[in-house]
Chains A and B, each alone.
Chain A
């Protein structure tokens, strides 16, 4: 009974070709996050949704966009992937936005390769 599901697990795209990564959750959590994790590095927060309220990190490139059509689903769109965007993309959820007390639940990740 998976709680945070990411599809696909592996995605290959071409340089400059738009790509969309998908995340869904069965936890009915208010908050959904997208992280980028490059090889042997810590996860880096790109943005998060608190319900329908979108919160972008200051250093997230404009190339990265997100959509949350309903509570269960959240998408990461990369408009023009570059070679430097090859990474693992992790989706996470939490019940509320109080990161000081809330646990984040992570999906298995989507590994993106850019050719």
Chain B
């Protein structure tokens, strides 16, 4: 399967702590994106990192990409209860199809 693998599958932290989730993939990629999905809702695009970039920031989000290890990580700093959601990595290879990872369920407790 070309699907991305994410770990951990589930993560529970306290508000204010940082949350890190990881994505690994098997193919060569053009870019890698991260999406958030609140329970029972659609996906919201968070950030895109290109294959020639190593790190990218957006607000409290920090994404890294290591193409030699075929892996990416998403760091959410100073987490809030509103960050509770599922987070998916998604990537494109040679074609135009977006392939999603298996997702990490993040729960931020007060």
Choice from B3, B88, B98, B101 contacting A99 with Cβ under 8 Å:
B98
Determine if A104 and B45 form an interchain contact, defined as CB atoms under 8 angstroms apart. Answer: yes
Distance, CA A70 to CA B102, complexed state (A): 33
Determine if A42 and B101 form an interchain contact, defined as CB atoms under 8 angstroms apart. Answer: yes
Query: Would you call the interface of chain B mostly helix, strand, loop, or mixed?
Result: strand
Distance, CA A94 to CA B78, complexed state (A): 31
Choice from B4, B33, B42, B103 contacting A103 with Cβ under 8 Å:
B33
Query: Which A residues are CB-close (under 8 A) to B97?
Result: 45, 57, 99
Interface residues on B, range: 20 to 34
Q: Which residues of A contact B (CB under 8 A)?
A: 4, 6, 40-45, 57, 88, 90, 92, 97-101, 103-109, 111
Distance, CA A109 to CA B33, complexed state (A): 20
Instruction: Determine if B81 is an interface residue (Cβ-Cβ < 8 Å).
Output: no
CB distance from B95 to the nearest CB of A (A): 8
Distance, CA A44 to CA B95, complexed state (A): 16
Query: Which A residues are CB-close (under 8 A) to B31?
Result: 100-101
Query: Which B residues are CB-close (under 8 A) to A109?
Result: 40-42
Query: Which A residues are CB-close (under 8 A) to B41?
Result: 108-109
Query: Would you call the interface of chain A mostly helix, strand, loop, or mixed?
Result: loop
Query: Which B residues are CB-close (under 8 A) to A88?
Result: 40
Choice from A40, A44, A97 contacting B96 with Cβ under 8 Å:
A97
Query: Which B residues are CB-close (under 8 A) to A42?
Result: 3-4, 88, 100-103
CB distance from B26 to the nearest CB of A (A): 14
Residue of A nearest to B100 (CB): A42
Residue of B nearest to A91 (CB): B42
Query: Which B residues are CB-close (under 8 A) to A104?
Result: 43, 45, 98
CB distance from A11 to the nearest CB of B (A): 14
- The CB with the most chain A CB atoms within 10 A, among B35, B41, B42, B48, is that of B42
CB distance from B82 to the nearest CB of A (A): 17
- The CB with the most chain B CB atoms within 10 A, among A88, A97, A100, is that of A100
